Chains A and B, each alone.
Chain A
């Protein structure tokens, strides 16, 4: 049965038909979209607690009833991992929340994570039929999170059904979203999966990158635990290409390799003073705080607490960094972005949260140099004022310097968040693996297979820098394709 037939079959189950008849579409459309319950900004900047509290069951049941259960659900086209959205939403509406959670897990290894960090407004929710009717879309993301949280809190966490073990060993490099999604799907298909992680913790960017106030580590750990229950093995402190080579993996009997090693190398701007003490990459700043728990006095890892902290960049990582700085006590937590707010790539929700938390937005500003004190600590940044010119290759209006308009702004900590490059460590260790001029692994876009037939790759090592959910989508596609490849080999 293909996907379309499956959607149709599930939609025509008696309970679904009954549910559709239970309320008129007009009535459904009149219900206002639910609002996320959130911690008060004044309180949340004093700690690391999760900002979004989720929605209550009452709210979820009402929100789920807004969904029109379309015969051709366009929302699903917006989901990189093809979650059967109407089925899980309707299960919530009929108060079968655990069934809803099960539906999510059919195609997503990390629903509680996706419910929190996916840019649903650009994906599933952007395709909701309600947009055409001039209404707000169904809050699919909030409902996803609700169902996953409900299942976890109920203590009845379902382990997906597994195909009989086929005895084939598969290796995964990296335990971030791409690696975990891939591992989950391969385990379901009956493979024996081992995930190799370079760091001392499982989760990749979900642990070292995304802050606790947006994605608590315990949420990630629960989802990893499910994968463990499915038989996935995890090996930390092991770097493929260093500790073990590609050839070693073959000798150990692995028949397929999925490289999901992420976008490692932080980019800097190569401007004067960038190596002063107090100037660091967002990767370093977030890793110290999130992975190493550096702000906790019990941690041995130090962190610089600044009064005046500037984050350079306008993406989600920049937003995570600047909100972290605020929580670490920065009096002025500034976001410096060279374009205007309109061009900012960060999620709207993050921008909104940041503003509530008193983050200063220095848009149309670009640092041109940093000055330090006699001990080499950064003291001020020179900000070039910008204005918007013609659209560039990305379609965004490109910033142009306003001659002579340079301000000197005091800073003690500067976090550079202007992007990352793929980490060459793994690709360079596999002979014959072709990479692009940017260092990303070249793969077939449909199968994620590289030029070496038993090596597949996905996530940021292929994309250069994308989202959690796109990485997971890659993992899923790679799993399906590797399964096909190994069966026909």
Chain B
């Protein structure tokens, strides 16, 4: 049982929870995720850790209400408990000084992107972050991202905030302007697919952090498998970060719909 210390709404459908998880807070690194389960008959779902406070013994999760299980988590309040939280899982992000890094985050993907932005900045890189969402209300964590980036470009589909356009347009404007050594992208699979196609064109090494269906999260079930460079990989133990140019995003998008018809 992990107690919810605080709850904050980023938007109607996006919730930030700070939960007690002292051991995970201590051992997690940027890029790690946890598996959470709400209720005895709850589903095990993966969530990337957005932040941690070692002293307070808490971790931060940002959840978008997109289905039955995420709705259940979003419905919990301060003082309630999450039945099970296990982690930190996956491999941590490989952080080094490469020069200029463009971080492209879409929607709720900005939450797990934040610790990566922070880590790349701390490693001495020039970090330019592109935040994208459908509309102004869905842009999250802008201030925290700003505090850790050299520059932030905001893109909205409807032009209600920042520049009107897609995340790829924001990324491309940077590439056209200056030397970019690396790109990191986290967001909806379809967004990462197009960011990947773009950076491939410019030959910029790109990392995508994937969020697939999982059950145990420790390599046991294989529900999370994807194809990377033609080989089957498990997102939970081989990832969650992969060379975006090698990921078969179409297959991943297809597999994300495995149980769609049942919801």
Complex Cα gap A198–B227 (Å): 26
B192-223 interface bits toward A, Cβ cutoff 8 Å, 1 = contact, 0 = none: 00000000000000000000000110111111
B 246-262 contacts with A by CB, 8 A: 251, 254-255, 257-259, 262
Q: Given A244-B27, A301-B43, verify A287-B220 contact (CB < 8 Å).
A: yes
Task: Count chain A CB atoms within 10 A of each CB in B84, B88, B220 and give the residue with the most.
Answer: B220
Q: Determine whether A356 belongs to the interface, using a CB cutoff of 8 Å to chain B.
A: no
Complex Cα gap A316–B219 (Å): 21
Task: Count chain A CB atoms within 10 A of each CB in B41, B83, B221 and give the residue with the most.
Answer: B221
Residue numbers in B under 8 Å from A304 (CB-CB): 258-259
- CB–CB B255/A280 < 8 A: no
Complex Cα gap A302–B223 (Å): 12
Residue numbers in B under 8 Å from A424 (CB-CB): 219, 237
- CB–CB A284/B23 < 8 A: no
Residue numbers in B under 8 Å from A275 (CB-CB): 225-227, 232, 251, 255
B 28-67 contacts with A by CB, 8 A: 37, 39, 41-44
What is the total number of residues of chain B having a CB less than 8 Å from a CB of chain A?
A: 41
- CB–CB A288/B69 < 8 A: no
- CB–CB A243/B41 < 8 A: no
Looking at chain A's contact residues, the main secondary structure is loop
- CB–CB B88/A243 < 8 A: yes
Complex Cα gap A250–B23 (Å): 15
Task: Count chain A CB atoms within 10 A of each CB in B68, B86, B87, B254 and give the residue with the most.
Answer: B86
Residue numbers in B under 8 Å from A299 (CB-CB): 41, 43
A291-315 interface bits toward B, Cβ cutoff 8 Å, 1 = contact, 0 = none: 0110010111110100000000000
- CB–CB B41/A284 < 8 A: no
Q: Determine whether A376 belongs to the interface, using a CB cutoff of 8 Å to chain B.
A: yes
Complex Cα gap A317–B141 (Å): 47
- Can you report 17 residue pairs joining A to B where beta carbons are below 8 Å apart? A198-B86, A199-B86, A200-B83, A200-B84, A237-B85, A239-B87, A239-B218, A242-B27, A265-B234, A281-B222, A284-B215, A292-B43, A300-B68, A300-B69, A301-B43, A301-B44, A425-B218
List 7 additional contacts besides A198-B216, A423-B218; criterion CB under 8 Å. Answer: A198-B86, A237-B86, A242-B88, A245-B27, A265-B220, A281-B221, A301-B215
A interface residue numbers (CB < 8 A to B): 198-200, 208, 236-239, 242-245, 264-266, 268, 270, 274-275, 277-278, 280-281, 283-284, 287-288, 292-293, 296, 298-302, 304, 375-376, 423-425
